């Protein structure tokens, strides 16, 4: 079920009404579990069984980890990690691994034709696997006790606002919220609705209507493009993916608030980041902190030597890239970000904290360098193969001075205006957040913006395009 679909509107109204009408907290939680499984099963009912089985296994493994002593604790954790990652590996990377195995064999002269596995990727598997995995990892780390309630754990993993495209909510952040029933607060409820409006506006109006067409046309064009069109295509995609994914996260946070639950921010104005560490503190925060806590730090983090820390960064970003999709283009995207982070760490080590870097103009410059490098990496994220990526990069750096210019003036204006206002908003709010901004803005501005966003959503009549992150 997509947030930007009529089915979800009806579903949400029914669930919210029933949820707040029921007095019993147990019954409310049961309702949320049922609703979450309907939400998920509405894509493909059999996959709900897969979701349940991984959840039930992790619930049981969590208890085993807590009970076990010594090396068997580690063995139970390994079982949980293997179970989750093999599930992810089979559904998401099965064909990718086979194809690469075939390629490798061909290099040494062995011709092997593996059967193409007709595997349907369960929607959101990358997200709910991480929701579930965080539980056993945290129990092993000793920061979480296993819950006694299977129902509560099922809800923590499958809570429908976050289930299929994040944010990646750790069981440790969600389970404590299931202890006591939240009270219905009108401000919280309305703020949730406003966030949902904002998220849908970002997705339907900005990402789908204003930007997706231009980005698709540029990346789908088979010929050489002039530098302006190439850059505009990449910039359009950079803005599109932000509005698409941040829009989903904002909707998820809003929907959870309407039900009395609190999810953390997943985006914090990332295009105003100064440097790449800062970018990853602002972009897909739930994934970057997951990788930091469960991968980077266990690998030694930055407590080890400089070289080892750099290797750790690259490994983390390599896997982060692969998490996004079973393709080498995603790996290159991840490695590029790993490379950026290494360069940044090296620069910091060389230059240190200089007073001149605290200057606004320097920050702005560094911010734009960061944005430019992030856009460069988006080329690999969006291109479906390296031929397209190479052509795009060549176009961006003036490789086709007599290439084609295919964007109409209207499209150029759309990309320019939307991206300009997005950057303005990110830089204005980079030290604060939406809540503060809304509190400080005149009431009529907030009211008008809310109404305008709602009207724009209705009038553009979104065509229910799936969110980009669903495929991950």
Residues annotated as catalytic are 324
Q: Compute the least distance from the CB of residue 206 to another protein, in Å.
A: 18
- The number of beta carbons lying within 10 Å of the beta carbon of residue 9 is 11
Check residue 463 for interaction with another protein (CB under 8 A). yes
Check residue 213 for interaction with another protein (CB under 8 A). no
- The number of beta carbons lying within 10 Å of the beta carbon of residue 212 is 19
2 vs 373, beta carbon nearer another protein = 2
Among the listed residues 151, 264, 308, 394, the single contact to another protein using CB under 8 A: 264
Residues from 219 through 248 that contact another protein (CB under 8 A): 222-224
Q: Compute the least distance from the CB of residue 415 to another protein, in Å.
A: 21
Q: Exposed, middle or buried: residue 448 (CB in 10 Å: 0-12, 13-18, 19+)?
A: exposed
Residue whose C-alpha is closest to residue 397's, from 215, 217, 222, 231: 231
Q: Compute the least distance from the CB of residue 451 to another protein, in Å.
A: 4
- The number of beta carbons lying within 10 Å of the beta carbon of residue 23 is 8
Place of tokens 């957040």: 433
30 vs 188, beta carbon nearer another protein = 188
Check residue 116 for interaction with another protein (CB under 8 A). no
Check residue 439 for interaction with another protein (CB under 8 A). yes
Are the CB atoms for 46 and 124 separated by under 8 Å? no
Q: Which long-range contacts (CB under 8 A, 24 or more apart) does 65-68 make?
A: 65/136, 65/139, 65/140, 65/146, 66/139, 66/145, 66/146
Check residue 458 for interaction with another protein (CB under 8 A). yes
Using DSSP's 3-state secondary structure scheme, residue 349 falls into: helix
Check residue 71 for interaction with another protein (CB under 8 A). no
Find the part of the chain contacting another protein (CB under 8 A) among 102-110, 316-324, 351-359, 444-452.
Answer: 444-452
| Rounded (10°) angle between helices 71-107 and 125-141 | 140
Among the listed residues 18, 20, 22, 41, the single contact to another protein using CB under 8 A: 41
Q: For the window 382-421, what string marks contact with another protein as x by the rule CB under 8 A?
A: ---------------------xx-----------------
Q: Rounded to whole angstroms, what are the CA distances from 207 to 3, 214, 218?
A: 14, 10, 15
Q: Compute the least distance from the CB of residue 330 to another protein, in Å.
A: 23
Check residue 184 for interaction with another protein (CB under 8 A). no
Check residue 352 for interaction with another protein (CB under 8 A). no
Calculate the CA 246 to chain-centre distance. Answer: 8
Find the part of the chain contacting another protein (CB under 8 A) among 74-82, 236-244, 338-346, 425-433.
Answer: 425-433
225: left (phi over 0), alpha (psi -120 to 50) or beta: beta
Check residue 432 for interaction with another protein (CB under 8 A). yes
Total residues at interface with another protein (CB under 8 A): 66
- Rounded to the nearest 10°, the torsion over CA 371, 280, 189, 195 is 20
Q: For the window 1-20, what string marks contact with another protein as x by the rule CB under 8 A?
A: xx--xxxx-x----------
Are the CB atoms for 219 and 205 separated by under 8 Å? no
Radius of gyration from C-alpha coordinates of the chain: 23
Check residue 175 for interaction with another protein (CB under 8 A). yes
Q: Rounded to whole angstroms, what are the CA distances from 317 to 45, 98, 348, 421?
A: 33, 23, 19, 30
CA dist., res. 284 & res. 311, Å (int): 22
Among the listed residues 438, 465, 470, 471, the single contact to another protein using CB under 8 A: 438
Q: Compute the least distance from the CB of residue 82 to another protein, in Å.
A: 25
119 vs 143, beta carbon nearer another protein = 143
Check residue 257 for interaction with another protein (CB under 8 A). yes
Q: Compute the least distance from the CB of residue 350 to another protein, in Å.
A: 27
Check residue 297 for interaction with another protein (CB under 8 A). no
Using DSSP's 3-state secondary structure scheme, residue 225 falls into: strand
CA angle centred on 228, ends 226 and 229, rounded to 5°: 70
CA dist., res. 155 & res. 32, Å (int): 7
Are the CB atoms for 323 and 287 separated by under 8 Å? yes
Check residue 187 for interaction with another protein (CB under 8 A). yes
User: Where along the sequence are the contacts to another protein (CB under 8 A)?
Assistant: 1-2, 5-8, 10, 41-45, 143-145, 147-148, 152, 171-173, 175-180, 185-188, 190-191, 193, 222-224, 253, 257, 262-265, 268, 403-404, 431-433, 435-436, 438-440, 443, 446-447, 450-451, 454-455, 458-459, 461, 463-464
């Amino acid at each position: 079920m997509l947030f930007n679909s009529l089915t979800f509107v009806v579903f949400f109204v029914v669930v919210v009404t029933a949820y707040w009408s029921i007095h019993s907290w147990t019954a409310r939680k049961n309702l949320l579990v049922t609703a979450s499984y309907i939400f998920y099963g509405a894509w493909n009912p059999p996959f709900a069984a897969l979701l349940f089985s991984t959840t039930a296994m992790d619930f049981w493994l969590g208890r085993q980890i807590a009970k076990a002593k010594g090396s068997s604790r580690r063995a139970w954790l390994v079982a949980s990690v293997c179970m989750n990652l093999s599930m992810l590996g089979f559904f998401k990377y099965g064909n990718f691994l086979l194809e690469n195995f075939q390629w490798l064999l061909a290099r040494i002269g062995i011709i092997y034709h593996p059967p193409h596995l007709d595997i349907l990727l369960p929607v959101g598997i990358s997200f709910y696997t991480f929701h579930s995995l965080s539980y056993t990892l945290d129990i092993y780390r000793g920061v979480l006790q296993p819950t006694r309630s299977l129902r509560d754990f099922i809800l923590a993993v499958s809570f429908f606002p976050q289930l299929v495209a994040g944010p990646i909510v750790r069981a440790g952040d969600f389970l404590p919220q299931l202890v006591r029933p939240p009270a219905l607060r009108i401000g919280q409820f309305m703020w949730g609705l406003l966030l949902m409006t904002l998220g849908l506006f970002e997705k339907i109006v900005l990402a789908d209507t204003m930007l997706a067409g231009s980005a698709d046309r540029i990346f789908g064009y088979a010929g050489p493009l002039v530098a302006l069109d190439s850059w505009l295509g990449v910039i359009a995609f950079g803005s599109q993916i932000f509005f698409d994914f941040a829009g989903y996260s904002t909707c998820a946070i809003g929907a959870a608030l309407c039900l009395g639950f609190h999810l953390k921010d997943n985006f914090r104005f990332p295009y105003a980041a100064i440097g790449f560490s800062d970018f990853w503190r602002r972009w897909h925060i739930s994934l970057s902190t997951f990788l930091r806590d469960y991968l980077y730090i266990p690998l030694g983090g930055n407590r080890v030597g400089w070289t080892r820390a750099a290797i750790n960064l690259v490994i983390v970003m390599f896997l982060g890239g692969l998490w996004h999709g079973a393709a080498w283009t995603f790996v290159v995207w991840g490695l590029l970000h790993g490379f950026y982070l290494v360069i940044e760490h090296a620069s910091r080590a060389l230059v240190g904290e200089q007073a001149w870097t605290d200057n606004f103009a320097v920050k702005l410059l560094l911010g734009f360098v960061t944005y430019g490098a992030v856009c460069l990496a988006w080329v690999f994220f969006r291109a479906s193969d390296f031929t397209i990526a190479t052509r795009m990069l060549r176009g961006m750096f003036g490789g086709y001075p007599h290439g084609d210019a295919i964007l109409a003036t209207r499209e150029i204006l759309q990309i320019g205006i939307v991206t300009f206002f997005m950057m303005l908003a990110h830089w204005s709010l980079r030290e604060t957040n939406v809540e503060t901004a809304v509190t400080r803005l005149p009431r009529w501005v907030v009211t008008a913006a809310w109404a305008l966003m709602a009207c724009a959503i209705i009038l553009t009549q979104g065509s229910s395009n799936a969110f980009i992150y669903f495929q991950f």
